[in-house]
Structure 1
């Protein structure tokens, strides 16, 4: 029986009415697996390949007889905008089977939420944070809510892996399943999943990872037109005007997404491109989109892009990397390299979405290191490699958060019941029982928890209530302190609290120029008026860790003489220049260079962020006090280190413990999360070590590589 024939008559009618010529490849594979097996699934296919329908066509076929009376499907997405975007697509199918679909997030009205809570049915679309809020604020309804849930669909599942948010979500899934009458099936959707080590299978189904199928569909590989142009950045902090002129020439007649790696650069780029367009007498068709722009402004931009009758472009960050529908884009432009291969793959997937269209990507780099990084990421993408998912650090911070949430949900509980809830929760099974008891004792001591006299029952303590009652409690990821920005009574967005925010200074936000007229520090608001000139705003934050494979590929590119056809002349010349030293010295890919100068020693490690950080701390333990590492893994030591080879050898031969490394770790280097500050000192250290330190792989790396020293 074909996949189409397995679907219910009403869903078949929907497909006919929607005039689909055929099922997509991912749908052909997914439908029988969902309807004829009990496996959990991860559906991995390119953006716009029909993944959402691949999940919901068979799910709706399965629940059409009961979806009107019970909540049967929980759909979880990382962004409210993605929920809003998918709502219409799912609702269109649901109409054929009379199954309701509901949204639940901060922008949904109280009346709509009340109606759903009183008569839960069909499909609920929700973010992890709103799911958390249900456990805290609607605990009396949880049994009736979750009892008949059969399917949990997680959109963009790769976003949740290896993060504190993913640990929170995994805990919440376990807590949902505690109320469910029959086993639920989890279906993850992603465009970038790569699971060679089976981590996702264990994440989805720790009790039976062999019951998880990861389905990858290329949906017929599209032709990719790819180019990398280099424009040397001669003025610190500013991109060359020639680069912007080239982007303008390239995008005049095409709808495009222009990705930048920080929000300030998004703003500056949108303004400069609009100025270039105005200079030509053309419309201002470059829009800005990032997380600090007000939601209504972002939605306005998304709607303009979807309905535009002439080419328009959006300058954006990762807010548009995921599957939010903004219509068909002709090309994607990336300013400097993405930090990861997965991100590059996501962004390429945003172009060429219509059948028969090619995917077009243009990358611009401005520094030699960015060029090398971009080539390495590109080559790994072309080799079809993507960062494998990794486990989050030992989640002491999320455990603290979930203990408060569980105590609130249960209105207090005995120690044995609390321990049972934690120890059976798969995300916390990496934490020893004794450490959990230590955390509970610490929470009592600090009044985050309270032990009711006589009853031996744990409830949320006074300090815990203060944390729990904050609107920021539902999320476990950190956000910077911000000022909201208003023009008259209209909210434009927000900017980080920095010294640059003061009356009289100008800034760019939402692609427009503003002057700060007043600052209300008590209410964290600033008021602005239009300006004629401004600087890009400063947004704090970093791009995250670089995988070892990318760093290794950078070294491989350096040691190669291969000519990459996608480089323009300037990029090819720049790459040739940075290769010359390695070629002259005869350096090979398995070797690592140490340059000893008069006043400093440089180790060109190319080992990824974690190994670089670990080696930096090891060197400090060995007596090298002034040592730092940059984002790409180069280690710089102040002063000559003529005995560096012996020092590295001694590192591989001695025993190490984490306390030694912690003793030389500067406060600003400690791994911090939103809730790590509430842990006891030992558990803060454990969290840091599990997230940032890998002694075993560092020693293995040092033993495996040949280090060669050059003195100058």
Structure 2
């Protein structure tokens, strides 16, 4: 098939006017599936490879040849900014063919929405949250809007593979198709899919079609990587003359953070992105970089972009970055991680290690869009260890994690797979309430047939759903009518009628940390009772968590744990930790590692070797103090922590369990190394009841709507759907012969 000739005339004209010499492999591959089959399509190709055009050129051709009598294409994207960016591009292509493109999200005026409702056609671009709102508030219009829907395009699908938001998206797709009586094909787009087969199965969830994943020549990926390490105060791990000169040229104020001073210098005269791992840190970094401008009597050249900023503020930053002559840099979080085209970016900086390979690749992919290689500079920071610090604090965890993430992709093309084995009771509550709010009174059987048949809930039993409904009746979230039907209750209306209901992801809710009558500050996502927090320069043990008042009551203890601000890293994959161990065990050199980074890695490897950690996971810290390095991802690590407390503490005399997730656990015990391995491996060989790893009276609120779910189901969802007990057992059983 000659793909170019098969395209509609307005597409061919666009290609000609754009000066394309030839079509890329991704465009030919997508056209083959969309023109010659009736199946779903998963398109995986690097950032800026032309995936969007590859999908939309055949789709627009088919819509042009046989116009839809309703909205013909539903485009779902995870970010408003991505929709705004794609709107401009699609609108330009579609104008000549008179195919209408409509944006629908919270920052768009009502005018375009009203026009679409009056005369549904063309392409509708929407976020999952706005689609949820549409399903509830425009229920009567769903059929007229979508009865002839031909395609659903899901952009950046990898961002939806590991959390409730992705399951919500597919629940909405299935509900919409059932309500409108349509059977559209699905097209998933992503640059970072590690296991295409699993992602393809996810894309097909609840669909009668299978997913085709075409293979094609992706060309050669070329990167420019740099990774440097800085202690927050001098001296540095290695002070080679060239780096020393770079850092002492007088451009930063007295007492400046060396890592930020390094970023300040290397963004000069360039257009860059500076990524941080939280909104709070993003604000601090931007403030300090602007202070450096002021100290040097330079114009301010730093902007900021994150989810808590107003739409106008974010959009003005995006517009300024699109100017190729602009030499502005943006401090950003994940809001600029996805496929927004913000012009010719020369360099991306990453402060400390991201948590996933996927996140690293997405951030790297923001650069290199105009024929130049992608370029990222990592800046890893840490405080100098205290003079009498224990061995675990001597390892630069972010530096090792950063190297592991890069090497996993270079060596294995590893990217985190979808998480499909959870029990999403929080989402079950949400979709139950959404369905009732949308459709009105239903019998329990009708409601079950609408909700439990959604593919996201395939692991949830009818008994569990009945238990949830009885609880919601008791708490007035739903009411029973005289006819025996179910409707939204008064308490439920307060939840459903709030605009925040449309989102299933957890907003950053801050908890006040208090000791006696004094407030120490605020943190996000508190640990359970008995856990520890770092705040105000000290370590505190949690005595009580009051979720209703958003307060944590603590008392002072000795120790040292990492302080996390913003979201606690909760999804680091076990394979990343295993690779971190390999990095510390090996003598490999990494071309992208700069002088301080090489010096710090050498120090860490020497420490690791002296502790003999390559051969065993447990080291003696003196007296009855021990440290365990299990090399497990976040959820297997959490399972191990609880397994040791619940099943092994008595036999081992184990006390004072102090985890630094997911890197190591410190504790005291009354037995030696051999007895530890023997006991824990024997206990792991027995059948472990997942519910035994949930503490007495603990209600581990993990997802946004868990607070409205019966405590028994929250506990069950945590035990069976969050804790990775199989991964933990496999690791512990491997210690049997140590």
TM-score range normalised by the length of the shorter chain: 0.7 to 0.9
Which residue does 1:646 correspond to in 2?
678
1:318-329 alignment, distance < 5 Å: 318-329=334-345
**Equivalent residues of 1:43, 1:216 under 8 A apart:** no
Name which of structure 1's ranges 557-566 and 242-251 shifts more when overlaid on structure 2.
242-251
- Against the structure 1 CA distance between its residues 350 and 540, is the aligned structure 2 distance closer, same or farther, given a 3 Å change threshold? closer
Match among 317, 331, 337 for residue 315 of structure 1 = 331
Deviation at residue 279 of structure 1 after TM alignment: 3.7
Aligned positions of 1:289-438 closer than 5 A = 289-307=305-323, 309-355=325-371, 357-367=372-382, 368-383=396-411, 384-391=413-420, 393-438=422-467
- Per the alignment, residue 529 of structure 2 pairs with none
In the alignment, what sits opposite 2:712? 682
Report the 3-state secondary structure (helix = DSSP H, G, I; strand = E; otherwise coil) of the residue aligned with 2:688. Answer: coil
Per the TM alignment, residue 583 of structure 1 is displaced from its structure 2 partner at its CA by 2.8
Shift of 1:6: 1.8
SS state of the match for residue 49, structure 2? coil
1:283 aligns with 2:271: no
The match for 2:643 among 618, 622, 625 is 618
- Pairwise mapping of residues 407-486 of structure 1 onto structure 2 (< 5 A)? 407-453=436-482, 455-481=483-509
C-alpha distance in structure 1 between counterparts of 2:171 and 2:727, whole Å: 29
Aligned to 1:523: none
Tell whether the 8 Å contact from 2:71 to 2:149 is kept in structure 1 after alignment. yes
Number of the residue aligned with 2:177: 177
Alignment partners' CA distance in 2, 1:129 and 1:209: 25
Residue equivalent to 1:206: 205
Alignment match, 1:161: 161
The verdict on how the C-alpha distance between 1:477 and 1:498 changes in structure 2, with shifts beyond 3 A counting, is farther
In structure 2, relative to structure 1, the CA distance for the partners of 1:595 and 1:476 (3 Å cut) is same
SS at match of 1:178: helix
CA contact (8 A) 2:142 2:180 kept: no
Pick closer, same or farther for the CA change 1:246–1:652 going to 2, 3 Å: same
Partner SS state of residue 672, structure 1: coil
Deviation at 1:424, TM superposition (A): 2.1
Residues 632 and 6 (structure 1 numbering): CA distance in 2 closer, same or farther, change over 3 Å? same
- Aligned residue pairs, count: 652
In the alignment, the residues of structure 1 paired with residue 620 and residue 207 of structure 2 have an alpha-carbon distance, to the nearest angstrom, of: 51
Which ranges of structure 2 fall in alignment gaps of 5 or more residues?
235-253, 383-395, 512-518, 524-563
Alpha carbons 1:46, 1:218 under 8 Å: kept: no
Distance 1:605 1:84 in 2: 44
Which moved further from structure 2: 1-10 or 158-167? 1-10
Taking the TM superposition and a 5 Å limit, the aligned residue runs for 1:485-564 are 499=521, 540-564=566-590
Q: How much does 1:41 deviate?
A: 1.1
The 10-residue stretch of structure 1 (269-278 or 394-403) with the greater mean CA deviation from structure 2:
269-278
Distance 1:585 1:227, change over 3 A: same
Q: Is this contact kept in 2: 1:289–1:315, CA < 8 A?
A: yes
What SS does the corresponding residue of 2:284 show, helix, strand or coil?
helix
CA displacement 1:149-168 (0-9 Å, x = unmatched): 01000111111112111111
* CA distance in 1: counterparts of 2:121 and 2:506, whole angstroms: 34
Once the two structures are TM-superposed, the CA of residue 266 in structure 1 deviates from its matched residue by 2.0
Residue 147 of structure 2 aligns with which residue? Answer: 147
In 2, distance between residues paired with 1:575 and 1:633?
17
What is the CA deviation profile of residues 534-579 of structure 1, one whole-angstrom value per residue up to 9, with x for unaligned ones?
A: xxxx963223321000000011111111122221222112111111
2:723 paired residue number = 693
Does the CA-based 8 Å contact 1:270-1:287 persist in structure 2?
yes
Change (3 A) 1:463 1:43: same
- Cα separation, partners in 2 of 1:50 and 1:405, compared to 1, 3 Å: same
Aligned to 1:491: none
The structure-2 alpha-carbon separation of the partners of 1:664 and 1:221, relative to structure 1 and needing over 3 Å to count, comes to farther
Q: Which runs of 5+ in 1 are unaligned?
A: 484-496, 502-537
Superposition deviation, residue 481 in structure 1: 4.4
Q: In 2, distance between residues paired with 1:464 and 1:244?
A: 48
Q: 1:662 aligns with which of 694, 708, 731?
A: 694
Change (3 A) 1:447 1:310: closer
1:180-222 Cα deviation digits (max 9, x unpaired) = 44421110111101225x3222222236798212346674223
1-side partners of 2:362 and 2:639: how far apart? 30
Task: Please state whether the residue corresponding to 1:627 is helix, strand or coil.
Answer: strand
Give the aligned partner of residue 268 of structure 1.
284
How many Å separate the matches in 1 of 2:380 and 2:216?
31
Q: Using the TM superposition, give the Cα deviation of residue 634 of structure 1 relative to its aligned residue in structure 2, in angstroms.
A: 0.8
Structure-1 residue corresponding to 2:224: 225
* 1:120-174 deviation per Cα after TM superposition (whole angstroms, max 9, x unaligned): 1111001111111111111111111121001000111111112111111111011
Give per-residue Cα distances to partners, 1:10-51, cap 9 Å, x unaligned.
322222233323223211210121111111111111221111
Q: 1:578: which partner in 2?
A: 604
Residues 263 and 408 (structure 1 numbering): CA distance in 2 closer, same or farther, change over 3 Å?
closer
Counterpart of 2:666 in structure 1 is 636
Superimposed CA distance per residue, residues 348-395 of structure 1 (whole angstroms, 9 cap, x where no aligned partner): 11111112x122211111231111111111111212211112226211
Q: Deviations over 1:659-692 (max 9, x none)?
A: 211126966xx24211111111111112212343
Judge which range, 89-98 or 211-220, deviates more: 211-220
Provide the C-alpha distance between the structure 2 equivalents of 1:296 and 1:598, rounded to a whole number of angstroms. Answer: 59
Shift, 1:587, TM fit = 4.7
Do 1:229 and 1:363's aligned partners in 2 also have CA atoms closer than 8 Å?
yes
Alpha-carbon distance in 1 for matches of 2:584, 2:474: 55
**Is the alpha carbon distance of 1:310 and 1:466 closer, same or farther for their aligned partners in structure 2, counting shifts above 3 Å?**
closer
Corresponding residue of 1:134: 134
- TM superposition shift of 1:431: 0.4
Distance 1:307 1:149 in 2: 37
Cα separation, partners in 2 of 1:239 and 1:160, compared to 1, 3 Å:
farther
For residues 369 and 148 of structure 2, the distance between their equivalents in structure 1, rounded to whole angstroms, comes to 37
How far is 1:346 from its partner? 0.7
Corresponding residue SS for 1:577: helix
Higher mean alpha-carbon deviation, 138-147 vs 8-17, is at 8-17
Q: CA deviation at 1:244?
A: 2.3
Which of 334-343 and 596-605 deviates more?
A: 596-605
Alignment match, 1:492:
none
Distance 1:244 1:587, change over 3 A: closer
Q: Is the 8 A contact 2:613 2:619 kept in 1?
A: no
2:685–2:733 contact (8 Å) kept in structure 1: no
Report the Cα offset of residue 265 of structure 1: 2.4
**Secondary structure, aligned partner of 1:617:** helix
Q: Give the match's secondary structure for 2:429.
A: helix
After TM superposition, the score normalised by the length of structure 1 is 0.87
Give a deviation string over 1:447-478, Cα, whole Å, max 9, x none: 2111211x221111222112111111111111
Question: How far apart, in 2, do the equivalents of 1:150 and 1:385 lie?
Answer: 33
Distance 2:280 2:616 in 1: 38
RMSD: 2.6
Determine the C-alpha separation between the residues in 2 that align with 1:60 and 1:262. 39
